[in-house]
Amino acid sequence: MEATFKTTLKQVMSLAWQFVRKNGLSLSDALKTAWLNIKLKAQMKKRIVKFYFQKIDGSIREAYGTLKESMLQPTSGKGNQNPTTQCYFDTEKGEYRCFKKANLIRINL
């Protein structure tokens, strides 16, 4: 079921304020990054997406990931318990990976 615009907007604002409080981003940058995260997650539920994020060491990582049910490997854990990170299935490595949502740089749609 598709999320309504109001629900999506609430998710974006919540995520943006999280970036402002925890990462010190300006509201403008936080909103851009929040929308990018929402778009990435929506696209990954449909297909494999190429995206870029900054790793903790400062380097830029190019990743190909998905959240499409038919492409995921079975898991034994509880999944992503940290709201500041986005987990995805890395199609190149064949395993699950995570990145900090505030470090998302770009997605290729």
| pLDDT at residue number 1 | 45
DSSP 8-class letter at 47:
S
- Beta-sheet strand order (sheet of 95-100): 95-100, 85-90, 60-66, 49-54, 104-108
Based on the structure, what is the number of domains in the chain? 1
Give me the amino acid identity at 18: Q
Task: Read off the pLDDT of residues 38-96 as tens digits, 9 standing for 90 and up.
Answer: 999 999 999 999 999 999 999 999 999 999 999 887 776 666 678 899 999 999 999 99
| pLDDT at residue number 2 | 60
Count CB-CB contacts under 10 A for residue 65: 24
Residues 6+ apart with CB under 8 A from 82: 98
Task: For residue 7, list its beta bridge partners.
Answer: none
Task: Read off the pLDDT of residues 44-55 as tens digits, 9 standing for 90 and up.
Answer: 999 999 999 999
- Domain extent, residue 96, equals 5-108
